[in-house]
Amino acid sequence: MARSSAARGTRAATLSDVARLAGVSVSTASKALNNRNHVHAQTRERVLQAAAQLSFSPNSLARGLLAGRTGTVGLLTSDLVGRFSLPILMGAEDAFGAGQVSVFLCDARGDAIRERHHVQALLSRRVDGLIVVGSSTDPRPPLADAVDVPVVYAYAPSEDPEDLSIVPDNVGAGRMAVEHLIACGRTRIAHISGARHYSAARDRAAGAQEALDAAGLALVGEVAYGAWEEGWGRAAAGMLLDRSPEVDAVLCGSDQVARGVLDTLRERGRRVPEDVAVMGFDNWDVMTTGARPQLTSVDMNLEELGRAAARALFEAIDAEHGRGVRTVQCRVTVRGSTAAEG
Amino acid sequence: MARSSAARGTRAATLSDVARLAGVSVSTASKALNNRNHVHAQTRERVLQAAAQLSFSPNSLARGLLAGRTGTVGLLTSDLVGRFSLPILMGAEDAFGAGQVSVFLCDARGDAIRERHHVQALLSRRVDGLIVVGSSTDPRPPLADAVDVPVVYAYAPSEDPEDLSIVPDNVGAGRMAVEHLIACGRTRIAHISGARHYSAARDRAAGAQEALDAAGLALVGEVAYGAWEEGWGRAAAGMLLDRSPEVDAVLCGSDQVARGVLDTLRERGRRVPEDVAVMGFDNWDVMTTGARPQLTSVDMNLEELGRAAARALFEAIDAEHGRGVRTVQCRVTVRGSTAAEG
DNA sequence: AAAGAGTCCGAAAACCTTTTCGGTCGTTGC
DNA sequence: GCAACGACCGAAAAGGTTTTCGGACTCTTT
């Protein structure tokens, strides 16, 4: 008895068992189960019945060993707790799940040693490909090991331009946000962002500036960089109102920052959206729908990003491996904090 | 050429390649790499060098096929986006990651069909065990298929008491919370909870009542069941203050509800924690640290729960399969909303 | 009746590793 | 010098599946 638990039965049925029960050879049983050519209908029926009776399920290990393909991919993330890797992971699982692919999940915790360890383990399990999900949109070093399967970097691009990376379009997101505010009739727009050393913060600000330039507008004050926290939003909004009371819209670096800004505006007696429109980034539902009024936000389309990464990996497995950085479009989700009727 | 991408090299090195390069047989190479008995030190060295030169990594499929053990487990979750499955998943990955175990991640999206599909796929990949993570603490039906590997249910217990389930101690959490409030000197405690049809809400309320009884206190008003949302917290707090203005502490069903309660208290001019103490459940950092004042909360110890599930699965694989429902203790994380000096 | 065509089935190799068992060689003790 | 023994290495089987190839059988055609 290899398995020791009393609750569990004997070992799983094998193809030989099915063949024996059906009174045919293993090769015939295999062909019958895989709908291969030239098996008598009656024979096939017997085999199918035998397989059902034994609740046979083919051993993927043996199959993978033979085929040189396992139908598995590795998903290497850097911060499972993080807010961003999760929807990506979800999208990837989604795109794979329909087919015959299973996903190995690994969390490197931002530790290079652990990452190499995981990569080695995945390679030894003969994954068909790898998706590497970063924890911020800042570029990350490529995998340390030589990997003989395709790799797609998601969210954080690889520093090596020869690698294939799929990232959100932060510049476009900034542009879209300002365009939305302008469409709402706002002209005196301020920008309270997150931590300056994040490329996401700088890219969004750059996109916002593009849209302002295109409309012949100027930002109210400077971009206020700080932290991705509500507290920063509250503090920055206070300073903004002191210095530039004429502001009629605040673009915030994240939904959390926006929540803080909303709090300060409320306390200072500014009505949202009548006096000041507010919007954030990320479209994190728990932040946006809990806010008063509900928060307009730019959705970074992370699930779609995950799906795109999965699709790209499929392509790379089956055909040619792409290169360079591809971006995924974002979209504005309008709620009460910018729409007057909200 | 099995692999078609030009960027990738030829197929991975196999043990035969190593043996050939080292000038020994495959069996000797195997023994050398696995530190088996009776291999000449010099021979072993040659083999190791050859393996390094070819960057050989043993094929886990072949190994698993032979050993009857794959060193993989399936992690079946019901809502990957959800807030609760993630830390559990993280803890499980943590406990496994140290060893030689890899994790297959599957998300059933609460769909029974998809769940069966995933279970079948996992079984065909010959996982050594399964962890099933629910999306709420309400009991869930056991897996539909007969599974010949150990299964551990985490967060949501199985309806079958013969299964092994590991869940947070919601009753204890409610008790702890009230004990903390009492320790802070509060005696007029109200409870604004979440949706009534969640066992988590009812269990926490029951635990809270136990602690009140033990202290000879009565709840202010009834338990206010509603929804797990900030909006409900705001509304319920308003009603509470209208009906029972003497209240000096509000225990909230979740951190989100607590955030709403805090908002209303602030607007009504009640100081927190001086006039009214507030606490929540879940200890969701983004909710607790963003709040003003920062929110005291009961941490459900979900990562520990994930680790416990992983450990229990290990035991079940190696030895005997446990049964019944085990609970994981919670702990209070004190912040400014109950501690006067915060 | 014989040959040919077609239909179906089975034997065997292949995938890669581990383990068991047998074999070779040198050495030691008598 | 011979037997026994120890140290080391190699052959082979096992694990489960898929695929190729050849063989056997049936049916048709001449």
Per-residue pLDDT tens over the stretch B185-223: 999 999 999 999 999 999 999 999 999 999 999 999 999
Vertex A193: Cα angle to A187 and A197 (nearest 5):
140
Listed by number, the residues of chain A in 191-220 with a beta carbon closer than 8 Å to a beta carbon of chain B are none
CA nearest to B5, candidates A252, A302, A148, A281: A148
Last residue of a domain, one of B58, B89, B109: B58
Residue B87 lies in a domain: yes
Residue nearest to nucleotide D19 (CA to C1'): A27
Same domain, B228 and B261: yes
Return the pLDDT at A10. Answer: 63
Burial class of residue A93, CB neighbours in 10 A (0-12, 13-18, 19+): buried
Rounded CA separation A246/A241 (Å): 8
Same domain, B188 and B286: yes
C-beta separation of B300 from B173 below 8 A: yes
Subunit contact A148:B3, Cβ cutoff 8 A: yes
- Coil, strand or helix: which one is B132? strand
Rounded CA separation B83/B303 (Å): 12
Beta bridge partners of B133: B77, B154
Q: CA(A91)–C1'(D27) in Å?
A: 56
Subunit contact B321:A55, Cβ cutoff 8 A: no
C-beta separation of A265 from A233 below 8 A: no
Same domain, A163 and A271: no
Q: CA(A57)–C1'(C10) in Å?
A: 22
Residue B311 lies in a domain: yes
Does residue B40 approach strand D to less than 7 Å at its CB? yes
Q: Which of A6, A65, A259 sits opposite B65 (nearest CB)?
A: A65
Q: Using a CB–CB cutoff of 8 Å, tell me whether B35 touches chain A.
A: no
Residues ≥6 apart with Cβ < 8 Å to A140: A78, A132, A134, A153, A156, A157, A158, A159
Does residue B62 approach strand D to less than 7 Å at its CB? yes
Q: What average pLDDT does the segment B280-308 reach? A: 96
Listed by number, the residues of chain A in 259-288 with a beta carbon closer than 8 Å to a beta carbon of chain B are 259-260, 263, 286-287
Residue A338 lies in a domain: no
Structural domains of chain B, count: 3
The 8-class DSSP code of residue B220 comes to: S
Does residue A19 approach strand D to less than 7 Å at its CB? no
pLDDT of B3 higher than 80: no
Tokens of A290: 């809990």
Q: CA(A64)–C1'(C23) in Å?
A: 35
Subunit contact B9:A148, Cβ cutoff 8 A: yes
Sign, Cα dihedral of A273, A171, A252, A244: negative
Subunit contact B102:A125, Cβ cutoff 8 A: yes
Q: Which nucleotide is nearest to B26 (CA to C1')?
A: D10
**Beta strand spans in B82-188 (E):** 102-107, 129-133, 151-154, 164-168
Q: Which of A65, A81, A318 sits opposite B61 (nearest CB)?
A: A65
Q: How confident is the model at residue B6 (pLDDT cuts 50, 70, 90)?
A: very low
> How far, in Å, are A150, A318, B265 from residue B5 at the CA level?
8, 8, 63
Kindly report the number of other CB atoms within 10 A of residue B34's CB atom: 9
Residue A267 lies in a domain: yes
Q: What are phi and psi of B79, to 5 degrees?
A: -150, 100
Tokens of B218: 């009565």
Minimal Cα distance from B89: which residue of A? A80
pLDDT in tens, chain A (342 residues): 233 333 445 678 999 999 999 999 999 999 999 988 778 888 899 999 999 999 999 999 999 999 999 999 999 998 888 788 888 888 988 888 777 899 999 999 889 999 999 999 999 999 999 999 999 999 999 999 889 999 999 999 999 999 999 999 999 999 999 999 999 999 999 999 999 999 999 999 999 999 999 999 999 999 999 999 999 999 999 999 999 999 999 999 999 999 999 999 999 999 999 999 999 999 999 999 999 999 999 999 999 999 999 999 999 998 888 899 999 999 999 999 998 654
List the B277-281 sheet strands across, edge first: B189-192, B249-252, B277-281, B296-299, B331-333
Q: How far apart are the first and last CA of chain B?
A: 67
Q: What CATH number is associated with residue B189?
A: 3.40.50.2300
Burial class of residue A38, CB neighbours in 10 A (0-12, 13-18, 19+): exposed
Sign, Cα dihedral of B276, B277, B279, B285: positive
Tokens of A82: 């993080």
Return the pLDDT at B139. Answer: 96
Q: Using a CB–CB cutoff of 8 Å, tell me whether A9 touches chain B.
A: yes
Tell me which long-range contacts B94-98 makes (C-beta under 8 A, separation of at least 24): B94/A107, B94/B303, B94/B306, B94/B307, B94/B310, B95/B306, B95/B307, B95/B310, B95/B311, B95/B314, B96/B310, B97/A106, B97/A107, B97/A114, B97/A118
Residue nearest to nucleotide C9 (CA to C1'): A28
Q: Using a CB–CB cutoff of 8 Å, tell me whether B127 touches chain A.
A: no
Residue B108 lies in a domain: yes
Q: Using a CB–CB cutoff of 8 Å, tell me whether A149 touches chain B.
A: yes
Residue A342 lies in a domain: no
Tokens of A326: 């591809």
Vertex A296: Cα angle to A291 and A298 (nearest 5):
125
Residues ≥6 apart with Cβ < 8 Å to B251: B174, B177, B178, B181, B189, B190, B191, B192, B208, B279
- Strand C nucleotides within 7 Å of a protein CB: 7-12, 14-20
Vertex B72: Cα angle to B68 and B74 (nearest 5):
120
| Strand (E) or helix (H) holding B119 | helix B112-124
Does residue B102 approach strand D to less than 7 Å at its CB? no
Subunit contact B61:A230, Cβ cutoff 8 A: no
Tokens of A153: 């970097």
Q: How confident is the model at residue B97 (pLDDT cuts 50, 70, 90)?
A: confident
Range of the domain at A201: 170-299
Same domain, B275 and B177: yes
Number of alpha carbons in the 13 Å side-chain half-sphere of residue A288: 23
Rounded CA separation A330/A67 (Å): 39
Rounded CA separation B81/A88 (Å): 10
Q: Which of B4, B58, B120 sits opposite A124 (nearest CB)?
A: B58
Return the pLDDT at A341. Answer: 54
Tokens of A237: 């909004």
Residues ≥6 apart with Cβ < 8 Å to A227: A194, A195
Same domain, B194 and B292: yes
| Chain B residues near residue A62 by CB distance under 8 angstroms | 65
CA nearest to B249, candidates B162, B170, B178: B178
Rounded CA separation A277/B334 (Å): 35
Same domain, B278 and B325: no
Residue A339 lies in a domain: no
Rounded CA separation B267/B110 (Å): 39
C-beta separation of A248 from A219 below 8 A: no
Residue A4 lies in a domain: no
Last residue of a domain, one of B7, B38, B58: B58
Q: Using a CB–CB cutoff of 8 Å, tell me whether B52 touches chain A.
A: no
Q: Which nucleotide is nearest to B63 (CA to C1')?
A: C17
Q: Using a CB–CB cutoff of 8 Å, tell me whether A101 touches chain B.
A: no
Same domain, B96 and B37: no
Q: Using a CB–CB cutoff of 8 Å, tell me whether A34 touches chain B.
A: no
Mean model confidence pLDDT for chain B: 92
Listed by number, the residues of chain A in 102-121 with a beta carbon closer than 8 Å to a beta carbon of chain B are 102-107, 114, 118, 120-121
Same domain, B210 and B288: yes
Tokens 């999206």 locate to B109
Q: What CATH number is associated with residue A21?
A: 1.10.260.40
Same domain, B124 and B174: no
Q: What average pLDDT does the segment B251-261 reach? A: 98
Same domain, B177 and B35: no
pLDDT of B37 higher than 90: no
Same domain, A48 and A86: no
Return the pLDDT at A4. Answer: 34
Same domain, B89 and B230: no
